[in-house]
């Protein structure tokens, strides 16, 4: 949802928020609580690019403000000298402070609250990340529920995910493929997680109407990035996720076979 704000005059920070999840919702909550101006259209990860806010960003530059772009990709070269970028995605995402941590540091906050520690661990390492900091089952269930809520996942999408998982395919050992009729992949990953009672998975390819997403081995993610571009994050370079927008069936089949071939070669 678009958050209308009155942009300040002068060199004050103005934040522009990227793909909506629990981390981004917490960043918005912090900024709102401190009276820091921000613009939030509630966009999803696939559309979290500079172009989503380009008129407002360029207007803020002309007004002498400092745009702070949080997890927005594809920033034009001519705009880069005039914006600050906060992000932690990419091939080395596991070694970088999360965007929430970077925002808090920028605001002069040095200690995270417990809820924020859980959000950070979830955003970087998912359920395993939260377990690594001693999260209780109740804390993990709460964070995952809040994350799905922040993404705007509906009851209908949850039901559709159950149906998609019922016909899951495993063309190669160590790889699962799910065809999902919408783009909310958390409905699949949360259900498949062994922690939540699912069968678990090592590597997962989720095919959505306008996106392809892979969760698993960091080496395969590196290859997907080189071959198809897209975006990635998680606890890389070891393990994480990759995704890209896609509509043409030949490209979809190409990515599917590309991933399968890595398991045929024994990489997975």
* pLDDT tens-digit series, residues 5-41: 444 444 599 999 999 999 999 999 999 999 999 999 9
Between 219 and 247, name the one with better pLDDT.
219
* pLDDT tens-digit series, residues 62-119: 999 999 999 999 999 999 999 999 999 999 999 999 999 999 999 999 899 999 999 9
DSSP 130-172: HHHTT--HHHHHHHHHHHHHHTT--HHHHHHHHHHHHT-B-SS
Degrees, nearest 5: CA angle 149-151-154: 60
Contacts of 208 (CB under 8 A, 6+ apart): 180, 181, 182, 183, 185
Q: What's the mean per-residue pLDDT of the chain?
A: 93
* pLDDT tens-digit series, residues 151-163: 999 999 999 999 9
Tell me what percent of the residues of the chain surpass a pLDDT of 70.
Answer: 94
Q: Look at residue 267 in the predicted model and tell me its pLDDT.
A: 58
Query: How remote is the C-alpha of 200 from its chain's centroid?
Result: 20
Q: How far apart are CA 200 and CA 190, in angstroms?
A: 10
Q: Which pLDDT band holds residue 268 (cuts at 50, 70, 90)?
A: low
- Domains of the chain, each with CATH number or no CATH: 13-132 (3.40.50), 155-264 (3.10.310.30)
DSSP 190-202: HHH-GGGTS---S
Q: How far apart are CA 221 and CA 125, in angstroms?
A: 15
> Does 50 have pLDDT greater than 60?
yes
The pTM assigned to this predicted structure is: 0.90
């Amino acid at each position: 949802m678009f958050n209308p704000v009155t942009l300040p005059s002068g060199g004050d920070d103005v934040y522009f928020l990227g793909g909506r999840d629990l981390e981004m919702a917490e960043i918005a909550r912090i900024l709102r609580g401190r009276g820091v101006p921000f613009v939030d259209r509630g966009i999803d990860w696939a559309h979290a690019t500079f172009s989503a806010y380009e008129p407002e960003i360029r207007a803020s530059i002309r007004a002498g403000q400092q745009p702070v772009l949080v997890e927005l990709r594809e920033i034009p070269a001519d705009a880069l000298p005039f914006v600050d970028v906060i992000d932690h995605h990419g091939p080395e995402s596991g070694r970088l402070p999360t965007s929430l941590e970077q925002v808090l540091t920028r605001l002069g906050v040095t200690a995270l609250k417990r809820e924020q520690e859980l959000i950070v661990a979830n955003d970087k390492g998912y359920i395993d990340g939260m377990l690594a900091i001693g999260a209780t089952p109740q804390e993990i269930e709460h964070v995952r529920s809040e994350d799905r809520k922040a993404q705007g996942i509906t009851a209908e999408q949850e039901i559709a995910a159950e149906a998609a998982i019922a016909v899951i395919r495993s063309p190669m050992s160590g790889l699962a493929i799910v065809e999902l009729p919408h783009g909310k992949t958390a409905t699949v990953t949360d259900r498949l997680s062994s922690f939540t009672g699912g069968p678990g998975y090592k590597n997962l390819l989720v095919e959505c109407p306008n996106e392809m997403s892979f969760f698993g081995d960091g080496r395969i993610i590196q290859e997907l990035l080189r071959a198809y571009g897209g975006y990635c994050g998680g606890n890389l370079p070891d393990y994480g996720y990759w995704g890209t927008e896609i509509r043409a069936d030949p490209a979809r089949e190409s990515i599917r076979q590309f991933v399968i071939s890595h398991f045929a070669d024994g990489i997975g």
